Amino acid sequence: MHPHPPTGGRLRDRLTSITYGSRTKWSDYRGPANGIRIAPSTFYEHLGRSGPSKQEIKDDELADHIFELRQANPLNQRLGSRKTWIRLRSRGVDVSRCSVERVMRDRGWRGANKRKTPKTTIANPAAQRAPDRVGRKFTAAAPNRLWVADFTYCRTGVGWAYTAFVVDVFARKIVGWKVASEMTQQLVTDAINQAFDFRKRSSTTDLDALIHHSDARSQYTAVAFTQHLADQGILTSIGTVGDSYDNALAESVNADYKNEPVDYGPRYPGMAELSLATAEWVAWYNRERPNTYCCDLTPDRAEELHYAQIAPHQPKGAVTL
């Protein structure tokens, strides 16, 4: 007879300890030191297994899909498990979110994490500021009703650079941006001009219902900039000084920008490289990156669905943008 298997140690050690030569024996561990029971079928399946299990094979296949996604665009490597899962589902990969989390964790794949950054708002106390017309309500019934703007700083190999963004609140779409070596009024003016040109290429000719909201930086309260907005029929809104929540949406986009293309990898050598990376990130952000606010649709797709929904109600030949 075989000796009674030991009652202590790890489960794997106890399984191994009852393997005698080419023969094995199942034992029902019910001792007080163990507190577990092993079914015979489970025990013999474990001993008879050769090669990877079905789950291991599925995990390897899922890892291949994730690897292909991350290689297709380096910016996809900034996505965490949740957004990676959404992107895989949009590609037709039927997989659960927990499986993506497990496979990414086991292989050390992580997305970018947001970091705290110092605030750089410098207000001009002598400037006449428009009131806050938004009141932290960053929602809009349609595109071109509310834009928010802000800029952030980036360290490059040749010194500091500054990137300004203009975001359409309706679908969180970036409609304008600019990279410059100085944080001047021209920086924010160039960003808003790009937003004007972008919307005009989409047949938008009337911005009379638009509100432009920003914080109280001197670049946004400058007379020339506010007059430039007024010339386009745009109403100006300025948040209070020293309150980041008054422009939280724009600052959130800044944080995504800093965490994904800027701080995630090596420092960019200069302005040209940063500008190119910013252009690629904006295109990816609008076209491919799932946005939680848009029910995990991309900003581009959210706007497309909006216009598709209202199209049947538009007069024939009417401009829908």
Percent pLDDT > 90 in the chain is: 59
Do 81 and 202 lie in one domain? The reply is no
Domain assignment of residue 131, yes or no: no
CATH at 173? 3.30.420.10
Alpha carbon 93 to its chain's center:
20
Do 157 and 274 lie in one domain? The reply is yes
Contacts of range 287-296, beta carbons closer than 8 Å, 24 or more positions apart: 288/73, 288/75, 288/76, 288/87, 289/75, 289/79, 289/83, 290/83, 290/86, 290/87, 291/171, 291/172, 293/171, 293/172, 294/171, 294/172, 296/86
Do 287 and 167 lie in one domain? The reply is yes
3-state secondary structure of 40: helix
Instruction: Please indicate, yes or no, whether the overall pTM of this predicted structure exceeds 0.85.
Output: no
Do 98 and 154 lie in one domain? The reply is no
Q: Which residues of 23-59 are buried (b: 16+ CB within 10 A; e: fewer)?
A: ebeebebeeeeeeeebeeeebeeeeeeeeeeeeeeeb
Q: Give per-residue pLDDT as tens, 57-99.
A: 899 999 999 999 999 988 898 899 999 999 999 899 999 999 9
Instruction: Among 1-5, 102-106, 139-143, 272-276, name the one with the lowest average pLDDT.
Output: 1-5
Do 214 and 291 lie in one domain? The reply is yes
Do 66 and 211 lie in one domain? The reply is no
E-assigned strands of the chain?
Answer: 19-20, 23-24, 146-156, 159-168, 173-180, 211-214, 235-238
| Containing structural domain, residue 266 | 146-309
3-state secondary structure of 235: strand
Do 154 and 252 lie in one domain? The reply is yes
Domain assignment of residue 40, yes or no: no
Pairwise pLDDT comparison (286 vs 8), residue with the higher score: 286
Q: Give per-residue pLDDT as tens, 105-164.
A: 998 898 877 665 545 555 555 557 789 999 999 999 999 999 999 999 999 999 999 999
When pLDDT is cut at 50, 70 and 90, the band that residue 36 belongs to is low
Question: Closest Cα to residue 180, out of 167, 169, 168, 189?
Answer: 189
Average pLDDT over residues 26-31: 47
Angstrom distance (rounded) from CA 195 to CA 177: 8
Do 172 and 92 lie in one domain? The reply is no
Angstrom distance (rounded) from CA 130 to CA 153: 25
Do 150 and 291 lie in one domain? The reply is yes
Question: Closest Cα to residue 86, out of 289, 252, 236?
Answer: 289
Do 251 and 151 lie in one domain? The reply is yes
Total domain count, the chain: 2
Q: CA dihedral in degrees (109, 110, 111, 116; nearest 10)? A: -160
Domain assignment of residue 139, yes or no: no
Task: List the beta bridge partners of residue 150.
Answer: 165
Q: Is residue 102 over pLDDT 90? A: yes
